[in-house]
Amino acid sequence: MKIVFGFLLLILSYSGINAQVSADSIPLRPTGFPVIAKDTLFYLNIGIGPYSAEQRANQINNKIADFLTNESLLVDSLHIVKSARINDIKCGDYLLMSIGMDDANALGLSLDRTSDYYFQLLKTGLDKTAPFSFRLLIINIVIAILILAAFLFGLKYYNRFFRAVYTKIEAQKGNRIKGINLKNYELLKPEVETSIFIYIAKGLRVAVLVLIVYLLLPTVFSLFPWTQGIANTLFHYIVTPLKAIGQGLVDYLPNLLTIIVTVVITNYFLKLIKFFKMEIEKGNLVIPGFHADWSKPTYNILKAIILALVLIGIFPLLPFGNSESFKGISAFFGILIAFGGASAISNVIAGILVTYMRSFKIGDRVRIGDVVGDVQEKSLLNTRIKTIKNEIITIPNSNLLTSNTMNYTTANDEDGLILHTTVTIGYDVPWREVHKLLIDAGLKTEYIKKLPKPYVLQTSLDDFYVSYQLNVRTRDIDKMARIYSELHQNIQDGFNEAGVEIMSPHYGAHRDGNQSTIPANHLPTDYIAPWFRVKKD
């Protein structure tokens, strides 16, 4: 009926002084190659351009097939684009057919009238609207009612199902839902975690319901001719993004496989390097000139370099990796690191150098500048020292390169570390006596080795006194402060008992009565301070 009605419209529109050509007034030429939509629309026995008649008909048939399967292409969008020698029939920007002068000459018409002729045939044959049927309308109404009834009936049990889910989640509080703890800190209580799961279930309930309703509406609208456009639009809103996502995933699949293969190979390569690191640490693998304590920092350096190279390699393969905004953000963070992290980078480099210098290791007793203590931690950025006063001092690694580092532990060989102290004694005391007193004081001190025996060095002959340096050995490096304190006590006691004054610093003022500086309990009971003597020549 619609075809007949269309032909009538064509006859009416083509009548008059400037009447157009009608489809019934031109033979369809049953010879040639058919152009088919639902039925055969017309035949072609004339090629165009480099294409033969058969190739031309096949191309038009393929375009018609795409048109009929593409819901976004509508017959109302068909139009003719005219030019001097060739007219095109298009749907939007989609080209269906081109008509040339040979087609017009074959029909005995002008180019424009020939284009109108094929246009009307295509518009009639490509109409996707199904013919109206009252019986089909009744059936579709019944189907729509059944769909809505099923939805309302299922909605009741849908709500019951989620209420049961809420109850089940609430019942698991304290059983499977025990909260989240970080060591001794309770990050989430069971009540809060249960509420989170319930809110997630409620959100899922709403999301699924919205999706069902969204799919239900176009299903119902597609049953009626006057609402099929709305149905197509709604389906288009879902199908188009899904197609785009699917096509994007397919297009990204080669890059994704490349990233996966790169990550897997890198992972096994790092495991191989880690195996050699552990073998070196255990002493199973010995490399001349390479110390065992270098294995861990070397592994970390190689790991950082390898990961950086891998990241540089897969960076362009990441989603949006080549976008200008992504590149801009990367450049911005690079500038921040370059300017803001200069000191941190210098500390990292210094930490690496200190590691390979092997100045100290964790647990060593060291002196760094004015700080004396035990090494508690070594990192790429700083070193932590615990002093003998239990103070934790953090020293940036860059300072280690500009400061002298004294390691008492590594100096503690088989003979022990040599501790030394200096006293100054006047020239009136024989040096042999001073040597004996100092050595005896050293031997009396706890934690001092008896062999090799302590010894004394006379380091200088000053204006008023002689400097004597006592050297003793010990293996108890962690008791240095206690050893020095006891050693000084024994030196004082020994010199006081021997009646030798420690003139350090020397006295620049006369003492009243020339009273001795030795404590009274060490002086003889009959001690009398001597008179100040003045000799006259």
User: Could you tell me if residue 256 is inside a domain?
Assistant: no
User: Could you tell me if residue 240 is inside a domain?
Assistant: no
User: Could you tell me if residue 532 is inside a domain?
Assistant: no
pLDDT at position 49 is 82
pLDDT of 152 over the 50 cut: yes
User: What share of the chain in percent tops pLDDT 70?
Assistant: 85
Pair (101, 37) in one structural domain = yes
pLDDT of 437 over the 90 cut: yes
pLDDT at position 360 is 83
Pair (321, 396) in one structural domain = no
Domain end among 344, 373, 392: 344
- How many distinct structural domains can be found in the chain? 5
pLDDT at position 321 is 66
**376: phi then psi, degrees, rounded to nearest 5:** -100, -35
Q: Give the least confident one: 268-277, 344-353, 400-409.
A: 344-353
Pair (18, 117) in one structural domain = yes
Q: Cβ(387)–Cβ(420) under 8 Å?
A: no
Mean pLDDT of the chain: 81
Q: How far is CA 450 from CA 409, 416, 442, 483, in A?
A: 20, 11, 9, 14
pLDDT at position 26 is 46
User: Could you tell me if residue 531 is inside a domain?
Assistant: no
pLDDT tens-place string over residues 255-304: 889 999 999 999 999 999 999 888 888 888 888 878 787 888 888 888 98
pLDDT at position 359 is 80
Q: pLDDT class for 1, splitting at 50, 70, 90?
A: very low
Pair (496, 393) in one structural domain = no
Hunting for tokens 């509406």 — which residue is that?
217
Which residues are paired to 58 by β-bridges? none
Q: pLDDT class for 125, splitting at 50, 70, 90?
A: confident
Pair (108, 38) in one structural domain = yes
What domain range is 455 assigned to? 417-507+518-522
User: Residue 364 is part of a domain; what is its CATH number?
Assistant: 2.30.30.60
Pair (154, 120) in one structural domain = no
> What whole-number distance in Å separates Cα of residue 31 and Cα of residue 279?
86
pLDDT at position 133 is 67
User: Could you tell me if residue 239 is inside a domain?
Assistant: no
Indicate the length of the chain as a whole number: 537
Residues whose CB falls within 8 Å of the CB of residue 471, separated by 6 or more in sequence, listed in order: 418, 419, 420, 454, 455, 456, 457
> What whole-number distance in Å separates Cα of residue 229 and Cα of residue 221?
8
Radius of gyration in angstroms for the set of CA atoms belonging to the chain, rounded to a whole number:
50
Pair (17, 115) in one structural domain = yes
Domain end among 125, 155, 175: 125
> What whole-number distance in Å separates Cα of residue 120 and Cα of residue 22?
9
pTM as predicted: 0.48
Pair (215, 309) in one structural domain = no
DSSP per residue, 298-367: HHHHHHHHHHHHHHHHHGGGSTTTTSHHHHHHHHHHHHHHHHHTHHHHHHHHHHHHHHHHT---TT-EEE
Return the top range by mean pLDDT from 267-271, 307-311, 370-374, 425-429. 267-271
- Average pLDDT (311-340) is 73
User: Could you tell me if residue 527 is inside a domain?
Assistant: no
**443: phi then psi, degrees, rounded to nearest 5:** -70, -25
> What whole-number distance in Å separates Cα of residue 261 and Cα of residue 242?
27
In 3D space, the residue among 338, 270, 275, 346 whose CA is nearest the CA of residue 308 turns out to be 270
Q: Cβ(453)–Cβ(438) under 8 Å?
A: no
pLDDT at position 488 is 95
> What whole-number distance in Å separates Cα of residue 307 and Cα of residue 303?
6
pLDDT at position 497 is 92
Q: Give the least confident one: 75-79, 234-238, 321-325, 482-486.
A: 321-325
User: What share of the chain in percent tops pLDDT 90?
Assistant: 21
Pair (109, 86) in one structural domain = yes
Q: pLDDT class for 535, splitting at 50, 70, 90?
A: low
Pair (192, 150) in one structural domain = yes
User: Could you tell me if residue 512 is inside a domain?
Assistant: no
pLDDT tens-place string over residues 179-231: 887 777 777 888 888 889 899 999 999 999 998 888 888 888 878 777 776 77
- Average pLDDT (320-348) is 69
Pair (121, 13) in one structural domain = yes
pLDDT of 18 over the 60 cut: no
Pair (11, 90) in one structural domain = yes
Question: How remote is the C-alpha of 235 from its chain's centroid?
Answer: 38
Q: Cβ(148)–Cβ(221) under 8 Å?
A: no
User: Could you tell me if residue 332 is inside a domain?
Assistant: yes
Q: pLDDT class for 22, splitting at 50, 70, 90?
A: very low
pLDDT tens-place string over residues 44-69: 888 888 888 888 888 888 888 888 87
Which residues are paired to 473 by β-bridges? 418
